Amino acid sequence: MSSARLYCLLTLMAAAAFGQPREFDAASVKPAAQNEGLIQPIEEVTPGRITIRNYVVKKLVMEAYELSRFQVDGPPWIERDRFDIVATKPSGTGADDQRAMLQSLLASRFHLVQHRETRQLQTYVLLAGQDTSKLHAVKEDATDPACGRSGTMARFAQNLATILDKPVIDQTGISGRYYFILTWSSQPVVVPQGGAPPPPPPPSADGCPSWSGKMPPVESNLFGAVREQMGLRLEHKGAVPIDVMVLDHVERPSKN
């Protein structure tokens, strides 16, 4: 037996021994209907199935490899063409296994070939401000559905990176879990005669405000909102080396 075949066999045996399937049991991949207007990506996960609608390839790669948008570089169509995927998987499949299965699907159906490299990217840092009392602490075992908007400071930095489409590094030094909600505008807005936005509703027992869906008036840009509504600072740091995935080859899958 050749060394290559032996390595492949040992890899498969190890995956089976640890209960880590690396491929979906079955998967359907087809172009999404190109409807006019806003197209929202949708992902539904059940114990035995994952359904993805209106996903561009770039988002598939981001989820499969846990990358941000600015960390994936490829041809323009990976941010334009949308696809629907319905895949079945063994019950009890964990998040790590599901990502590995999605990686296998990208390789087999989209013929994805990639490499990693380091690039200098403009970066921001998230810092603690002078008044962090505006933060809403959340219990680690919170069950209130409203707490779906909560997370660590590192998670909040990731959310800001998605908005800015640039890396944001958490340097707050603040531990724990907090509730995050911001209202901001990319355009200057005149402060209404009523003054500052009203404070959020009182938090629930888990620490999350029970928002009614009505947002306070938008008066600040993103940087001002982070400072005024959360007591944090978002500042430009400059160019920082960031790991980037470059898609050397990727194809549109055929209908099936």
pLDDT of residue 196: 53
What residues of the chain score a pLDDT lower than 50?
2-21, 190-194
| 28: β partners | 86
| 51: β partners | 44, 86
- Threshold 0.85, pTM exceeds: no
pLDDT of residue 156: 93
Burial of 171 (0-12, 13-18, 19+ CB in 10 A): middle
Cα dist. 90→10, 23, 46 in Å?
22, 10, 11
